């Protein structure tokens, strides 16, 4: 039994999602669920882990540090949000996968700090698939060059691509963008045999993303309910 301290039915949400998420995407790859835990309490996160979540993804370094020792059940720790270069030092050796390597100086800092600590970090290269000014990441056309440069850094292991689709209602446009991401991922898989993850899909669009070939989805709202920003 999971300890239930929250009004939102986290355990039920997780169990329902784990049933709903297909065992494989159309390419036959298993789909990994990462719980997006920004603004959630350690109790809520532990309830989700107890219900079957195996990986949690943080957005904020301070939250990550405050909660790290309170998380039970030994999940994978992912970092999914924008990461300031001067905060990399707090994460080295504690993050199993960085989803959001969106610029070269971040990749360089992760490699430099990792090398000094004897740690090789797993990273995804973030692509700004909607060419949105408000989002970070490399352009789709830059993806191959970005992977080439980032994979050359000594203390990084490049494991795939990450993207956030734009918040638009146009389903055919979303499918077009998600499919472009999958095509780029396939193209790069041929170059980088260590590629494993195409991280794409949030609460509002994960089904579409999995249908288009995502194999890693990051869900917050559908697990924990709506976030209340002050």
In the complex, the residues that contact ligand PLP under the rule CB under 6 A are 36, 38, 59, 80-81, 164, 202-204, 218-222
Write down the least CB distance from residue 180 to ligand PLP, Å: 19
Write down the least CB distance from residue 116 to ligand PLP, Å: 27
Which residue, 81 or 166, has its beta carbon nearer to ligand PLP? 81
Write down the least CB distance from residue 102 to ligand PLP, Å: 11
Q: Which residue is nearest to ligand PLP (CB)?
A: 220
Which residue, 103 or 112, has its beta carbon nearer to ligand PLP? 103
d(CA 164, CA 94): 24
Which residue, 151 or 203, has its beta carbon nearer to ligand PLP? 203
| 40-45, Cβ contacts within 8 angstroms, sequence gap of 24 or more | 40/220, 40/224, 41/6, 42/67, 42/70, 42/71, 43/3, 43/5, 43/6, 44/5, 44/6, 44/8, 44/10, 44/224, 45/71
Write down the least CB distance from residue 7 to ligand PLP, Å: 17
d(CA 107, CA 32): 24
Which residue, 59 or 121, has its beta carbon nearer to ligand PLP? 59
Write down the least CB distance from residue 190 to ligand PLP, Å: 27
Write down the least CB distance from residue 142 to ligand PLP, Å: 20
Residues with Cβ within 8 Å of residue 57, at least 6 apart in sequence: 34, 35, 36, 37, 78, 79, 80, 99, 218
For residue 29, the 8-state DSSP code is: P
Which residue, 20 or 187, has its beta carbon nearer to ligand PLP? 20
d(CA 111, CA 151): 10
Write down the least CB distance from residue 85 to ligand PLP, Å: 18
Q: Could you tell me if 93 and 72 are in contact, meaning their C-beta atoms sit under 8 angstroms apart?
A: no
Which residue, 147 or 219, has its beta carbon nearer to ligand PLP? 219
**Treating both helix axes as pointing N-terminal to C-terminal, what angle do 143-151 and 171-189 enclose, rounded to 10 degrees?**
40
CA dist list (Å): 28 to 22, 78, 81, 214:
10, 23, 28, 11
Nearest 5 degrees, angle CA 40-CA 50-CA 210? 75
Which residue, 85 or 203, has its beta carbon nearer to ligand PLP? 203
């Amino acid at each position: 039994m999971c300890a239930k301290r929250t009004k939102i039915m986290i355990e039920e949400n997780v169990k329902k999602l784990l049933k709903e998420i297909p065992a494989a995407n159309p390419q036959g790859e298993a789909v990994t669920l990462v719980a997006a835990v920004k603004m959630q309490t350690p109790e809520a996160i532990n309830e989700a882990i107890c219900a079957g979540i195996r990986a949690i993804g943080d957005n904020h370094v301070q939250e990550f540090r405050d909660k790290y020792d309170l998380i039970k059940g030994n999940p994978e720790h992912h970092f999914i949000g924008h990461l300031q270069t001067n905060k990399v030092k707090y994460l080295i050796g504690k993050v199993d996968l960085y989803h959001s390597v969106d610029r070269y100086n971040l990749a360089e800092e992760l490699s430099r700090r990792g090398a000094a600590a004897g740690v090789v970090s797993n990273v995804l290269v973030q692509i700004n698939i909607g060419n949105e000014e408000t989002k970070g990441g490399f352009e789709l056309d830059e993806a191959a060059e970005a992977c080439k440069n980032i994979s050359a850094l000594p203390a990084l292991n490049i494991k795939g691509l990450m993207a956030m689709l734009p918040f638009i209602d146009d389903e055919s446009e979303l499918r077009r963008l998600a499919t472009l991401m999958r095509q780029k991922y396939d193209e790069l898989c041929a170059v980088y045999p260590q590629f494993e993850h195409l991280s794409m899909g949030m609460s509002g669009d994960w089904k579409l993303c999995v249908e288009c070939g995502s194999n890693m989805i990051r869900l917050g709202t559908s697990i924990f309910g709506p976030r209340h920003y002050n």
